[in-house]
Amino acid sequence: MNGSLEWTLGLRFLVALALGFLIGLERETGRKEGAKFFFGGVRTFPIVSLFGFACAWLYGNGATLLLPAGLVAVTALAVVAYLEKIKAGRLGATSEVSVLLTYVVGVMAFMADVRLPIALAVINTILLSEKSVLESYVERLDRTEFLATLKFLLVTVVIYPALPNMNYTVYALNPAKIWQIVVLVSAIGFIGFILSRKVGPKLGVPLSGLLGGIVSSTAVSVATGRLARETPAQAGAALQANLLASSVMYIRLIVLIAVFGGGFSMGLDWRLGCLCLTGLILALTVRNDRDPVRAGGGLPAPQNPVEIRVALFFALLFVVLKIGTSLAKDAFGQAGVLSLGALSGLADVDPFVLSVVQGALSGPLLVKAVLMALMINTLAKGIYFSSLSRGNRMACLWRYGLLAGCHVPLMWV
């Protein structure tokens, strides 16, 4: 004996009976007292499951019309029951749909892998019994978060499988691989977006900035600058949040490069780690006199980073920067590449960094280009914040100037 269970006809019959009884027991215990009409219970559902099992057995023995005829009969029974329920003033069709599924479970208990009807019956029973829990969850469901989840699924499981996995042009542009980058960046941003909405307001301004940095540290610099301008009492907390978000940027890039690039062979990992640590230390030096939680909660929730137009723009920017890096290298050498990195640092550094670590550059020039983009991006965030916040402008500028300056020696180490 090999130890595996042989699913004989008798065992399959018992499975069909047990699964029907499981669903029927749930319907029986969920019956409302005083209900004028109630469809199905601890006897009806096992009978329907056995009816499906018998129809499947007859189908396998030549009576091919009985299987669809049985489904039609059960459907007609469910329709009659539903009409009677409406007359009794009750709404909902879960019992009627469940009886159809019970018939299918009985059929599959005979014809298919037994694990599939077991899974269907158990999941159906859970959905029926947890009605109040599911309805309470729906009531608490945030529509913005729900739409963000749908858009994330669209980016990951709908668009990505449809893209060709082959190289085009002399620049080796692979649509599937490019979209893989979009998916990972979107996934990281999506996680940060959900965390910021769920727990950000409970953590206060500084830690809200840290979570926001997972989505976009540049966006956090603008949001914190506005907060410092509108609420001077929170200027210190806002600057601290901005520096924490900038520090998280390095961690985000370490993850992205680890997945898609070979930059770690050149020591980008420890360089980015040092810059992250420097940013955290500078954030701790900010004087924050007030309790950030009591001073008004966290930062405004970031925008959904998984918008389709944002994903398409990221992919387009990645392609443009990958081609542009190659052209700048051929035409102007190192100066051209570093200039392009500096220009990209004024906005979003992710497309440029990922384009160069994907093979556009290598060696010391790769390290210099990445650090140049990050240095300019750091300076830009300091300027964004200080231009909006007047109360602690100098405190912002010298900290961001110092953090940006730390990039320079790391280019030559």
Question: What does the pLDDT read at residue 403?
Answer: 93
Question: What does the pLDDT read at residue 30?
Answer: 67
Question: What does the pLDDT read at residue 293?
Answer: 43
CA–CA distance, 49 with 56 (Å, rounded to integer): 11
CA–CA distance, 297 with 394 (Å, rounded to integer): 25
- Give the CA distances from residue 58 to residues 8, 70, 107, 143, 262, in Å, rounded to whole numbers and listed in that order: 16, 11, 11, 49, 62
Question: What does the pLDDT read at residue 171?
Answer: 77
Could you count the other beta carbons within 10 Å of the beta carbon of residue 179? 23
Q: Comparing C-alpha atoms, which of 15, 25, 70, 81 is closest to residue 48?
A: 70
DSSP state of 43: T
Question: What does the pLDDT read at residue 52?
Answer: 93
Buried b (16+ CB within 10 A) or exposed e, 213-227: bbbbbbbbbbbbbbb
Beta-carbon contacts of 364 under 8 Å, excluding residues fewer than 6 positions away, are 266
CA–CA distance, 203 with 69 (Å, rounded to integer): 61
- Give the CA distances from residue 93 to residues 48, 90, 103, 267, 333, in Å, rounded to whole numbers and listed in that order: 17, 10, 16, 61, 69
DSSP state of 290: S
Residue ranges per domain, the chain? 9-138, 142-412
Question: What does the pLDDT read at residue 306?
Answer: 65
CA–CA distance, 173 with 160 (Å, rounded to integer): 15
- Measure the N-to-C terminal CA separation of the chain; round to a whole number of Å: 66
CA–CA distance, 194 with 200 (Å, rounded to integer): 9
Per run of 10 residues, the mean pLDDT along the chain (length 413 residues) is: 70 92 84 59 89 92 89 90 79 84 93 91 87 72 73 80 85 83 79 71 71 79 82 83 90 85 70 93 79 51 67 83 85 86 83 79 83 92 85 86 92 83
